[in-house]
Amino acid sequence: MKAHDGMYIGGAWRPAEGRDTIAVVNPADEQVIAHVPAGTAADVDAAVRAARAAFPGWAATPPAERAARLAALRDALAARAEEIAETITAELGSPLRLSRAVHARVPVLVAGSYAELAAGHAFEEKLGNSTVLHEPVGVVGAITPWNYPLHQIVAKVAPALAAGCTVVLKPAEDTPLTAQLFAEATVQAGIPAGVFNLVTGLGPVAGQALAEHPGVDLVSFTGSTAVGRSIGATASGAVKRVALELGGKSANVILPDADLARAVSAGVANVMSNSGQTCSAWTRMLVDAERYEEAVALAAEAVAKYEPGERIGPLVNAKQQARVRSYIEKGLAEGARLVAGGPDSPREKGYYVSPTVFADVTPDMVIAQEEIFGPVLTILRYEDEEDALRIANSTVYGLAGAVWAADAERAVAFARRMETGQVDINGGRFNPLAPFGGYKQSGVGRELGPHGLAEYLQTKSLQF
C-alpha cells in the first residue's frame, strides 16, 4: 500500500525527526503492507507550533469560507471513497462491503453536516445588554482509535475546523494510512497550511506528548477508559479542556411485547458488525424469562450466518484477538452457557475470533460488566421491567442502548430511565446530527451535530 514517509505539518509532508517506523499489518493475512514514521515529542512540537501559527488566521476566516472548505473536504472524501474503503479493509480488516457502506460513507455525511452547520451557526447572540461571541477554543490535540478510523478523525476535525480551531491529529498506530489519506483530502479541499496537521506515532510517545503539550488548548480523545482516564488527569492538571469518548457495555432491552425475531436479529447484527469493535455495540441483550430460550435460539441461528472471512472480518491485531479470546475463556469459567462460537480461532491465518454467543449470563459476571470489543454477545434474563432497568443500568458505562416494544411510548418511557447517552427505539436509524457521547465512565462531552460543534467553542460576553 502507498504510504507517506513523513508527517503532514504546516502544509507539507516533512521528514520525521526520528528514524523509527511503525509497521502496518493487514489483520486478515498478517502481512506487513506499509511502514509509517513513528513520531516523537519533537514532531508533535513542530505540529503544535504550526497549528498555533495558523490559528489566528483560521479563527478570523469568515464562517462561510470555513464552510466552503468543509464542503470541499466532503467532496474530496466522496471522490476518493473507493480508495478509502480499500485502505480501511487493508489495515483494519473489515469486509469491503462494510468499509464502503459505513467506514467510507459516514465521514462524508459528517463532513457535509459540518459544512452546513458552519454556514448556519449563530457565532454571535444577543442576551439583554450583552453580545455573546462564540469563539474557537484554540489548538486541538485529537487522538483517535482504529475501530472506525476515518469516522473518528472526521468527528473531531470537522467540528474543530467549523468552529475556527486548528488541529494536530495523532491517529491510532494500527490505521495510519487512512489518516494519511485524510491529510491528502484536506490539501485537495484547500484547507490552509497549518490548520490541519498529522503526526503518526505510538500512543505513549506521540499521543502522550500531544496531550501534555502546553500549546494545546483542548484534547479530544477516543479510545480505552484506562488511557482516557490518564489523559483526563493530565489535561485537568493543566486546566485544559478535554473531551473523552470511551468504552461501553450497552444494553439491548427487548420488552415482553416486542417483535422478538426483529429485535434479536438487529441485536446480533449490531454486535457482529465491525467484528464487535464498536464502542456503542449492544453487547448485552436483555430478554424476559418467558421468551428467553426462544431468543437464545434465534440469536444462535442468526450468528451462524456470520462466516469468518466472508461476512465478518478479523480483529485489528493479535493483541486484540488474544484479549477477546481470553474473555471468552473467562465466560466459560464463570459458568455462562456457550451457544455459538468459542475461544478457538476459526481460521489458521488472520486475527479471527469466532462469532460467539453466551446465554445464562448474570449481571455480576465479568463478561456482563467489561467491554470485550469483539464479536461476543451476552444474553441476560430479566423478571420484569424494573429488573430489566436495574440490569441495564448496572455497569460503569453508559454510551448507547436500544429498547424494543410493541408500543413506542412504552419504549420511550423505559429509555428515559436508562443511564446512557443514546438509545435507539425499535431499531431507529443512524442520525449524523444526534449528539453522541457517554453517561458515567463512557466519557465526557458530545460529538456530532450542533452539540459536537459547541465543544470547540468558548464564549466571550460584551456588555453595552
The minimum distance between CB 248 and ligand NAD, in angstroms, equals: 7
**Look-up: residue for cell 451557526?**
121
| 268 is a site residue for ligand NAD (CB under 6 A) | no
Contact 407, 384 (CB under 8 A): no
Nearer to ligand NAD, 371 or 424 (CB): 371
The minimum distance between CB 297 and ligand NAD, in angstroms, equals: 29
**Closest alpha carbon to 151 in 432, 397, 443:** 432
Nearer to ligand NAD, 360 or 370 (CB): 370
| 208 is a site residue for ligand NAD (CB under 6 A) | yes
Contact 215, 139 (CB under 8 A): yes
From 84, 154, 279, 389, residue interacting with ligand NAD (rule: CB under 6 A) = 279
| 172 is a site residue for ligand NAD (CB under 6 A) | yes
| 39 is a site residue for ligand NAD (CB under 6 A) | no
The minimum distance between CB 210 and ligand NAD, in angstroms, equals: 7
Q: 165 an active-site residue?
A: no
Contact 213, 48 (CB under 8 A): yes
The minimum distance between CB 17 and ligand NAD, in angstroms, equals: 18
Nearer to ligand NAD, 22 or 133 (CB): 22
Close Cβ partners of 372 (under 8 Å, ≥ 6 residues apart): 276, 283, 323, 324, 327
d(C-alpha 341, C-alpha 54), whole Å: 52
d(C-alpha 433, C-alpha 206), whole Å: 31
From 211, 359, 365, 391, residue interacting with ligand NAD (rule: CB under 6 A) = 211
Of 322-381, binders to ligand NAD (CB under 6 A) are 323, 371, 373
Residues near ligand NAD (CB under 6 A), total: 26
Q: Which stretch binds ligand NAD (CB under 6 A): 244-252, 298-306, 387-395, 427-435?
A: 244-252
The minimum distance between CB 384 and ligand NAD, in angstroms, equals: 32
d(C-alpha 122, C-alpha 374), whole Å: 42
* Number of residues in the chain: 464
Nearer to ligand NAD, 257 or 430 (CB): 430
**What's CA 416's distance to the chain center, in Å?**
24
d(C-alpha 413, C-alpha 411), whole Å: 5
Give the three cell numbers for residue 11: 502544509
The minimum distance between CB 283 and ligand NAD, in angstroms, equals: 11
| 145 is a site residue for ligand NAD (CB under 6 A) | yes
Which position among 245, 371, 447, 455 bears the catalytic label? Answer: 245
From 70, 115, 227, 299, residue interacting with ligand NAD (rule: CB under 6 A) = 227
Close Cβ partners of 357 (under 8 Å, ≥ 6 residues apart): 268, 296, 299, 300, 303, 338, 339, 340, 341, 376, 377, 379
Nearer to ligand NAD, 139 or 457 (CB): 139
| 173 is a site residue for ligand NAD (CB under 6 A) | yes
The minimum distance between CB 275 and ligand NAD, in angstroms, equals: 12
From 107, 247, 421, 452, residue interacting with ligand NAD (rule: CB under 6 A) = 247
Q: 279 an active-site residue?
A: yes
The minimum distance between CB 226 and ligand NAD, in angstroms, equals: 7
Which single residue brings its beta carbon nearest to ligand NAD? 203
Nearer to ligand NAD, 160 or 295 (CB): 160
| 150 is a site residue for ligand NAD (CB under 6 A) | no
Nearer to ligand NAD, 200 or 426 (CB): 200
Nearer to ligand NAD, 320 or 378 (CB): 320
| 110 is a site residue for ligand NAD (CB under 6 A) | no
Q: Which stretch binds ligand NAD (CB under 6 A): 23-31, 141-149, 188-196, 261-269?
A: 141-149
For ligand NAD, the binding residues (CB under 6 A) are 143-145, 147, 170, 172-173, 203-204, 207-208, 211, 222-224, 227, 230-231, 245-247, 279, 320, 323, 371, 373
**Catalytic site residues?**
245, 279
